Amino acid sequence: MTDTPETAPEAPAAITDTPPDRLSVNPRSEFHDWDLLRRGVGIRYNGVERTNVEEYCISEGWIRVAAGKSLDRKGNPLTIKLSGTVEAWYKS
């Protein structure tokens, strides 16, 4: 045995059951978080579950969705902002 004190292993970061207020699937956005997206976030907009949401904000009450197949000059989908009641949850 050695006389060195044992240190407890670091605890993993606490994962809450509440999704963030704002999240984006665009990796260039400051609100992008791959770990949360990989966990799976469900979005309900005005009582209807949506699967095509590019970005959402619960506190401001809006979502961004792709506007058809239109692309901007950099190849990103054009989005429109829809205002309403937004709910988010983790799927798994």
Predicted confidence (pLDDT) at residue 47 exceeds the cutoff of 80 = yes
CB count within 10 Å of CB 89 equals 13
Segments making up each domain of the chain, as ranges: 22-90
Mean pLDDT of the chain: 87
Long-range pairs for 27-32: beta carbons < 8 A, 24 or more residues apart: 29/55, 31/55
Res. 10: pLDDT tops 60: no
* Half-sphere exposure of residue 6: CA atoms within 13 angstroms, side-chain side: 4
Q: What's the pTM?
A: 0.77
The residue with greater pLDDT, 11 or 14, is 14
The yes-or-no verdict on residue 1 having pLDDT over 90 is no
